[in-house]
Amino acid sequence: MPAAIKTIMRLLLDTAVVIYAVEFPEKLSRRAATALRKLDNAIELSAVSITEIAIKAASGKLAFSAVILRKAMDDLGIRVLPFTADHAFRMFGLPRRHNDPFDRQIIAQALCEGISVVTPDDKFRLYEGITVVW
């Protein structure tokens, strides 16, 4: 009998999810928390999210340092998904259903990569082709 083939699910975290995971784990849905703990999942964070956190931390809107973020990424086994030219070009055809520029970039990445997004933001569901885990 052939051995079962394990499918690795790639999950792209919305910026809020990594912040919740560190500072407010009780805000994570049960499904999101389970997805973050499942070892078979490839957990990814957009380079865009790192930029968003850095900008908000520098402006005083968020008390989150580079050290805290790096530790969270190590602890959760998160790998960085670079924002590429293909992702940027995908934004040309992206409907204007979400006004947050960081979220729009994450949506473009998810669509290009064909990966699910872990997010509490219902606006992500307005985009055809996006699978939301929450």
Domains recognised in the chain with CATH numbers:
9-129 (3.40.50.1010)
47 backbone dihedrals φ, ψ, rounded to 5°: -60, -25
CA dist 58 and 111 (Å) reads 30
- Percent over 70 (pLDDT), the chain: 96
Q: What pLDDT digit, counting tens, does each position of 15-67 carry? A: 999 999 999 999 999 999 999 999 899 999 999 999 999 999 999 999 999 99
